[in-house]
């Protein structure tokens, strides 16, 4: 017999959302938008009840004695959480009407669940794993950082070993797998790899430098991947290479036809910043709508690095052009690489964290895997001293929970050399912190930062770079700096390779 029509509002957790319990509450992942949201324990408790009950009558939920730390959670708070999460597509509000009996379970005490919170104060798994499936590549782009570590890895995993690695990652609760290289399309088993990853529940993204991809390959990839990021060689666009624009237009059309979300990765060298408008206009006319701006990381060629590394004025120009382009093209979106978080340093910390800006997340929200299965805190920190383990022959949990390297990087903001640096004293440290790659010791001050933020004002004018370097080098017990002001001034004047992070040469 059909039941009575149900008039009240019903809500459910979206089928496209994964939730993961964490020490502070939980992390929510929207598989459609890629949004990742942290929620506190109260909100996570409410969400867990909704998930547990599948479909929930909102009025009944508000009447429930949901408790946290022995106190009943205020129904106004619960309502607020639900409305916010509904706005974000985390919770679906079902239309009123007749619902099947199956969903009309009365709320009883058994529907209340008891959550045991993790004891460790870090995430239970990274959100995203970056995996360079190969370092092979047919190109030799001058600004590619991979050349730095290519010679360290001659081995890459075969298909079966790649499947084992995927299982370990997926079973640990990771949400996304970002596959890159080298050139991932050089692997003939890439389709098998993405299929396995997708079937294991991972949302898969690919980064490629190829402008031409065979239709048959795209047909298969389209079934299993969410996005393709195209690494754009901006120098070709600056030189007005017409065939580049045409190839890109054809590629974007192919990808759109297969509903693969397409993005352009742009390395922010000096030249790309000075030609930013021109590059964006050309890419817009090729059909790109999503742009990821990547910081220029040190390539192998130090001379090239010194020539192309943006200075403070270049970065200010980038901020300005970014705003102009965003206003001119309201249908395109820009995403900023974690290493460029200082571009948003003027934000109020609460707004930044609420907007999901987290700055350096090495070893915490991301980890990186090299072609041989070795694990590092980030794809930029690849060297023996940064190695956390190898997923081929080690247990995932053992690496994630016990590796000292991962512990060091996920807690870098607590390290003395960071705290004493300008980054450590900066108002933006929680949602920026600088990129570890640009710190002399791969922990402290980001030497490429346009300037720390103090209170609500910039302190560029008062920023004393010599004192900062003295702080980094340290002092004798009597309080005298190991390096005098004269010595440091001389180093700065030499204008040699000092801005090229020394750990890269020394490691």
C-beta closer to ligand SF4: residue 224 or 305 = 305
C-beta closer to ligand SF4: residue 261 or 459 = 459
371 belongs to the binding site for ligand SF4 (CB under 6 A): no
- Closest distance between ligand SF4 and the C-beta of residue 63, in Å? 45
* Segment near ligand SF4 (CB under 6 A); pick from 4-12, 133-141, 357-365, 386-394: 357-365
144 belongs to the binding site for ligand SF4 (CB under 6 A): no
Pairing mode, if any, of strands 227-231 and 203-208?
A: parallel
- Closest distance between ligand SF4 and the C-beta of residue 54, in Å? 37
Residues 6+ apart with CB under 8 A from 86: 11, 92, 93
Instruction: For residue 274, give the H/E element and its range.
Output: helix 270-274
- Closest distance between ligand SF4 and the C-beta of residue 227, in Å? 19
- Closest distance between ligand SF4 and the C-beta of residue 147, in Å? 17
Residues 399, 368 contacting (CB under 8 angstroms): no
* C-alpha to C-alpha distance for 366 and 496, rounded to whole angstroms: 33
488 belongs to the binding site for ligand SF4 (CB under 6 A): no
432 belongs to the binding site for ligand SF4 (CB under 6 A): yes
* Cis-peptide into 59, omega within 30 deg: no
In 3D, which of 359, 379, 357 has the Cα closest to residue 368? 379
* C-alpha to C-alpha distance for 212 and 243, rounded to whole angstroms: 12
* C-alpha to C-alpha distance for 87 and 351, rounded to whole angstroms: 18
Q: What are phi and psi of 453, to 5 degrees?
A: -110, 130
Q: Is 57 exposed, middle or buried (0-12, 13-18, 19+ CB in 10 A)?
A: buried
C-beta closer to ligand SF4: residue 446 or 499 = 446
Q: Return the DSSP state at 3.
A: -
User: 66, 131, 429, 468: which one contacts ligand SF4 (CB under 6 A)?
Assistant: 429
437 belongs to the binding site for ligand SF4 (CB under 6 A): yes
202 belongs to the binding site for ligand SF4 (CB under 6 A): no
Would you state the torsion angle of the CA atoms of residues 113, 115, 116, 121, taken in this order, to the nearest 10 degrees? 170
345 belongs to the binding site for ligand SF4 (CB under 6 A): yes
- Closest distance between ligand SF4 and the C-beta of residue 350, in Å? 16
Pairing mode, if any, of strands 333-336 and 290-295?
A: parallel
Residues 6+ apart with CB under 8 A from 463: 422, 451, 452
* C-alpha to C-alpha distance for 202 and 29, rounded to whole angstroms: 11
User: 137, 169, 228, 338: which one contacts ligand SF4 (CB under 6 A)?
Assistant: 338
* C-alpha to C-alpha distance for 327 and 321, rounded to whole angstroms: 10
C-beta closer to ligand SF4: residue 26 or 126 = 126
* C-alpha to C-alpha distance for 282 and 167, rounded to whole angstroms: 41
* Segment near ligand SF4 (CB under 6 A); pick from 44-52, 348-356, 388-396, 447-455: 447-455
* Segment near ligand SF4 (CB under 6 A); pick from 107-115, 203-211, 216-224, 434-442: 434-442
- Closest distance between ligand SF4 and the C-beta of residue 255, in Å? 26
292 belongs to the binding site for ligand SF4 (CB under 6 A): no
C-beta closer to ligand SF4: residue 272 or 341 = 341
- Closest distance between ligand SF4 and the C-beta of residue 319, in Å? 12
Q: Return the DSSP state at 118.
A: P
* Segment near ligand SF4 (CB under 6 A); pick from 15-23, 165-173, 348-356, 358-366: 358-366
- Closest distance between ligand SF4 and the C-beta of residue 31, in Å? 23
C-beta closer to ligand SF4: residue 13 or 378 = 378
309 belongs to the binding site for ligand SF4 (CB under 6 A): no
* C-alpha to C-alpha distance for 368 and 395, rounded to whole angstroms: 16
Binding site for ligand SF4 (CB under 6 A): 338-339, 342, 345, 360-362, 378, 380-381, 422-423, 426, 428-429, 432-437, 446, 449, 452-453
């Amino acid at each position: 017999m059909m039941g009575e029509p149900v008039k009240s509002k019903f809500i459910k957790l979206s089928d496209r959302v994964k939730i993961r319990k964490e020490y502070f509450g939980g992390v929510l992942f929207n598989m459609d938008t890629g949004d990742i949201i942290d929620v506190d324990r109260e909100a996570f408790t409410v969400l867990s009840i909704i998930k547990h009950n599948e479909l929930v009558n909102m009025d009944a939920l508000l009447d429930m004695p949901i408790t946290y730390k022995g106190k009943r959670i205020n129904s106004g708070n619960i309502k607020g959480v639900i409305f916010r999460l509904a706005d974000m597509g985390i919770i679906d509000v079902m239309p009123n009407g007749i619902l099947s009996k199956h969903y009309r379970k009365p709320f009883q005490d058994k529907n209340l669940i008891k959550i045991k919170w993790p004891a460790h104060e870090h995430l239970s798994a990274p959100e995203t794993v970056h995996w360079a499936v190969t370092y092979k590549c047919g190109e030799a782009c001058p600004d590619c950082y991979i050349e730095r570590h290519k010679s360290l890895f001659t081995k890459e995993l075969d298909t079966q070993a790649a499947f084992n690695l995927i299982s370990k990652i997926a079973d640990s609760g990771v949400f996304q797998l970002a596959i890159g290289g080298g050139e991932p399309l050089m692997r003939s088993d890439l389709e098998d790899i993405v299929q396995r990853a997708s079937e294991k529940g991972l949302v898969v993204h690919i980064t490629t430098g190829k402008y031409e991809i065979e239709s048959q390959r795209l047909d298969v990839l389209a079934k299993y991947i969410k996005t393709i990021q195209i690494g754009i060689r901006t120098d070709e666009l600056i030189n007005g290479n017409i065939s580049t624009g045409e190839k890109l237009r054809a590629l974007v059309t192919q990808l759109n036809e297969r509903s693969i979300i397409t993005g352009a990765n742009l390395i922010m060298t000096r030249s790309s910043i000075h030609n930013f408008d021109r590059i964006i206009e050309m890419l817009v006319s090729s059909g790109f709508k999503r742009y990821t701006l990547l910081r220029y990381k040190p390539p192998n060629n130090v001379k090239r690095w010194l020539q192309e590394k943006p200075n403070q004025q270049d970065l200010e120009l980038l901020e300005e052009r970014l705003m102009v382009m965003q206003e001119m093209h309201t249908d395109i979106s820009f995403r900023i690489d974690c290493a460029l978080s200082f571009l948003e340093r003027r934000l109020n910390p609460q707004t930044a964290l609420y907007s999901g800006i987290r700055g350096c997340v090495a070893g915490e929200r991301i980890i990186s895997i090299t072609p041989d299965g070795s694990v590092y805190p980030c794809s930029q920190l690849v060297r023996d001293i940064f190695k956390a383990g190898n997923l081929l022959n080690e247990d995932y949990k053992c690496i994630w929970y016990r590796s000292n390297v991962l512990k060091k990087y996920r807690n870098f903001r607590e390290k003395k050399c960071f705290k004493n640096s300008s980054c450590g004293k900066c108002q933006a440290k929680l949602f920026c912190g600088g990129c570890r790659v640009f710190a002399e010791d791969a922990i402290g001050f980001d030497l490429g930062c346009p300037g720390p933020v103090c209170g609500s004002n910039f302190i560029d004018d008062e920023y004393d770079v010599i004192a900062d370097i003295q702080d980094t080098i340290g002092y004798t017990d009597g309080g005298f700096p190991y390096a005098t002001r004269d010595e440091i001034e001389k180093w700065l004047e030499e204008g040699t390779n000092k801005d090229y992070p020394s750990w890269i040469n020394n490691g």
